[in-house]
A and B are shown apart, each in its own frame.
Chain A
Amino acid sequence: MGSGSGLGGGRRVSVLYFARSAELAGLRCETLSVPREITSLQLWEEIVKVHPRLALIRDQVVFAVRQEYVLLGDQLLVLQPGDEVAIIPPISGG
């Protein structure tokens, strides 16, 4: 794990997995190469290509991009090398 997803002209970003998403992906962090401009939903689909089991929780996750919440959808992300993208399953702190 940890190699690029094979997309040309990509940005290498840190992808973090927590709770159930870490169990499904089988790891807690890795570096993936993704297009510089990509919608949040497309980014999710790229990550699911690498970890197909994550498809199970498609309707129960949001992203945190550079530590700001982003829903899966049409929002365009402009990613810089080294940016942190986290998969955030439903939270249960407290």
Chain B
Amino acid sequence: MEENEDVPKDFIKLKSEKLSVDEVSELVVSPYCGAVSLFIGTTRNNFEGKKVIHLEYEAYTSMAETEIKKICRDVRQKWPSVKHIAVHHRLGVVPITEASVIIAVSSPHRAESLEAVMYCINTLKASVPIWKKEIYEDEYSWKENKECFWANSEK
């Protein structure tokens, strides 16, 4: 056991290629864990009756990675038994139905990884500097997460 403790690791990647659920879930598998919990955010084909053609993501990449690292740090404080955390976010054009974000967390038992995955996606939506543009047939709009506290403020 001593020679292979499977030290907890964070895997963070922002990339313009298609995301792979298999790749992300395999990153967090551990012989010490009985649970891998996954969240997959996918792109919808409609918004308020408008047909969405595709989506485009951009990021403040260096800061986004830093903010995701902070989320991982928080997760380890809240759920110390969590083993590995993987967060992959896609950038650039994302066709409808493809994944824009995949989060995987492993833990010895399921409760911690399930709670941690929900915390990761909720906090990512509130604090990580990434932007989504929805492209419709003849217009587009920049989306705003309801978790973003400076959106829609109309002070």
Contact = CB atoms under 8 A, between A and B. Distances in A.
A23 to B, nearest CB: 9
Interface in A80-94: 86, 88-94
Contact of A91 (B62, B66, B128, B153): B128
Interface stretch (B76-84, B107-115, B130-138): B130-138
Contacts, number: 85
B135 to A, nearest CB: 14
Task: Please tell me the size bucket of the interface on B.
Answer: 20 to 34
A62 B154 CA distance: 14
Given A19-B131, A60-B150, A88-B129, A93 B60 contact: no
Contact of A93 (B62, B130, B150, B153): B130
Contacts of A93: 57, 59, 64, 89, 101, 124-125, 128-132, 145
Residue from A20, A71, A94 having most chain B Cβ neighbours under 10 A:
A94
A75 to B, nearest CB: 14
A67 interface: yes
A92 B58 CA distance: 10
B46 to A, nearest CB: 17
Residue from A62, A86, A91 having most chain B Cβ neighbours under 10 A:
A91
B73 to A, nearest CB: 15
Nearest to B66: A67
Interface in A42-70: 59-62, 64, 67, 69
Minimum-distance CB pairs A-B, first 8: A93-B130, A90-B151, A92-B143, A19-B131, A90-B144, A92-B132, A67-B63, A94-B125
Interface of A: 16, 18-20, 59-62, 64, 67, 69, 71, 86, 88-94
Interface of B: 41, 57-60, 62-64, 66, 89, 100-101, 121, 124-133, 142-145, 148, 150-155
